[in-house]
């Protein structure tokens, strides 16, 4: 598995992160096999959140693998906090209590990475800074990041937070690529030219913040996968053609398309299927040409200016 540096941290992480949002759908033996397969593939970066399964996903993960010090040392654990029922909450009290709950469920005394889960309209960055300082000094969290945040939201945090922001988890896939399309369609009078995120892609590259694309196979907002979907005939035809040329699956090509971007992203998978997980990991070994990358981009319905 190829690795990259996560933002400005000292962490060398696999280019494919393993999302655990659906691990509560597996039995304990199935979950153990899934985790061990990921480790065998070199995909030892696991992404969690305190709301996944109401916390059950973290408990199931730790129980299935029989978490202990030796196993913990073989993996990188990331989790997210800030989403509550009907609201977002980045208060110091909620961040600290949420992390304690995460550590208990994961049976570990530290997280490698903690992300703020989506923006909180009522965020008080001074409180976030106090929480981060306490978590960092106590050794409970080593590195920090955000998710679904625009550049100015990150800048506001950085005014008070002393620790570097090393990751930003953002929705991005072949069919959800507005952050790429707006950069291509600069100064154009079309919908693709609309900047919906404050040029977050360029901002993250400028500030060495690793983008973690979530839902890399989804179109819309959890409307379904685009692979093998009759709604996307041209896209699937092109992906299948390129997959055949490389001797890999369409799943591999979908991840390889994200990895081809020079921003050095770390896609977060969501599958609980072991074969598809292996296919995702194979993308680490596939390098799409510039021509192939643009062919897929255009086949998704994007028009070059």
Q: How confident is the model at residue 247 (pLDDT cuts 50, 70, 90)?
A: very high
Average pLDDT, the chain: 97
Over residues 220-237, the pLDDT tens digits come to 888 899 999 999 999 999
- What is the DSSP annotation of 51-102? TGGGGHHHHHHHHHHT--HHHHTT-EEEEEE-EETTEE---HHHHHHHHHHH
Kindly report, residue by residue over 102-127, the tens digit of the pLDDT.
999 999 999 999 999 999 999 999 99
Domain assignment of residue 203, yes or no: yes
Taking residues 82-98, what's their average pLDDT? 98
CATH assignment at residue 104: 3.20.20.100
- Residue 283 domain-assigned (yes or no): yes
**Looking at residue 222, what is its pLDDT?**
82
C-alpha distances (whole Å) from 39 to each of 14, 27, 131, 167, 281 are: 11, 18, 31, 22, 11
pLDDT value, residue 221: 85
The whole-model pTM stands at 0.97
Answer whether residue 98 is part of any domain: yes
E strand residue ranges, the chain: 3-5, 12-14, 17-19, 45-47, 76-81, 83-84, 87-88, 111-116, 141-147, 165-171, 210-214, 218-219, 224-225, 268-269
- Closest to 255 (Cα-Cα) out of 281, 273, 294: 281
Given a cut of 90, is residue 8 above it in pLDDT? yes
Distance separating alpha carbons of residues 107 and 214, to the nearest angstrom: 25
Residues 244-252 have a mean pLDDT of 98
Give the CA radius of gyration of the chain. Answer: 19
Q: Is residue 92 part of a domain?
A: yes
Helix (H, G, I), strand (E, B) or coil at 141: strand
Indicate the pLDDT class of residue 38, thresholds 50, 70 and 90.
very high
194-200: average pLDDT? 96
* 24 band by pLDDT with thresholds 50, 70 and 90: very high
Angle of helix 250-259 relative to helix 233-246, nearest 10 degrees?
Answer: 90
- Sign for the CA dihedral angle at 65, 71, 72, 75 comes to negative
Residue 137 lies in a domain: yes
N- to C-terminal Cα distance for the chain? 36
The predicted-structure confidence for 266-296, as pLDDT tens digits, reads as follows 999 999 999 999 999 999 999 999 999 999 9
Within-domain flag for 198: yes
Tell me if 130 is assigned to some domain. Answer: yes
Q: Is residue 305 part of a domain?
A: no
Helices 28-40 and 56-65 sit at what angle, rounded to 10 degrees? 70
Q: Cα 156 to the chain's mean position, in Å?
A: 22
pLDDT of residue 135: 98
Let me know: does 145 contact 110? Beta carbons within 8 Å.
Answer: no
**How much is the average pLDDT of 150-169?**
98
Phi-psi group of 68: left, alpha or beta (phi > 0 → left; psi -120 to 50 → alpha; rest → beta): beta
Q: How many domains are contained in the chain? A: 1
Show the domain range for 98.
Answer: 3-300
């Amino acid at each position: 598995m190829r690795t990259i540096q996560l933002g400005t941290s000292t962490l060398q992480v696999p280019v494919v992160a393993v999302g655990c949002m659906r691990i509560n759908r597996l039995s304990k033996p199935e979950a153990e096999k899934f985790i061990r397969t990921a480790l065998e593939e070199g995909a030892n970066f696991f992404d969690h959140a305190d709301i996944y399964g109401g916390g059950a996903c973290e408990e199931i993960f730790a129980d299935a693998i029989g978490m202990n010090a030796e196993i913990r040392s073989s993996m990188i654990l990331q989790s997210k906090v800030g989403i509550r029922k009907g609201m977002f909450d980045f208060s110091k009290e909620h961040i600290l209590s949420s992390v304690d709950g995460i550590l208990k469920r994961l049976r570990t005394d530290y997280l490698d990475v903690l992300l703020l889960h989506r923006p909180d309209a009522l965020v008080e960055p001074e409180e976030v800074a106090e929480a981060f300082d306490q978590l960092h000094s106590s050794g409970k969290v080593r590195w920090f990041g955000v998710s679904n945040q625009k550049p100015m939201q990150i800048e506001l945090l950085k005014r008070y937070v002393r620790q570097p922001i090393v990751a930003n988890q953002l929705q991005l896939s072949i069919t959800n690529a507005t952050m790429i399309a707006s950069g291509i369609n600069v100064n154009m009078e079309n919908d693709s030219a609309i900047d919906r995120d404050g040029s977050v892609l360029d901002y993250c590259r400028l500030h060495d913040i690793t983008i973690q694309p979530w839902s890399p196979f989804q179109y819309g907002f959890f409307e379904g996968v685009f692979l093998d979907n009759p709604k996307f005939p041209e896209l699937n035809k092109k992906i299948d053609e390129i997959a055949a040329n490389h001797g890999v699956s369409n799943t591999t090509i979908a991840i390889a398309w994200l990895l081809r971007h020079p921003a050095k992203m770390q896609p977060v998978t969501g599958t609980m299927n072991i074969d598809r997980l292996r296919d995702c990991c194979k993308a680490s070994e596939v390098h799409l040409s510039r021509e192939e990358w643009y062919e897929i981009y255009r086949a998704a319905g994007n028009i070059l200016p």
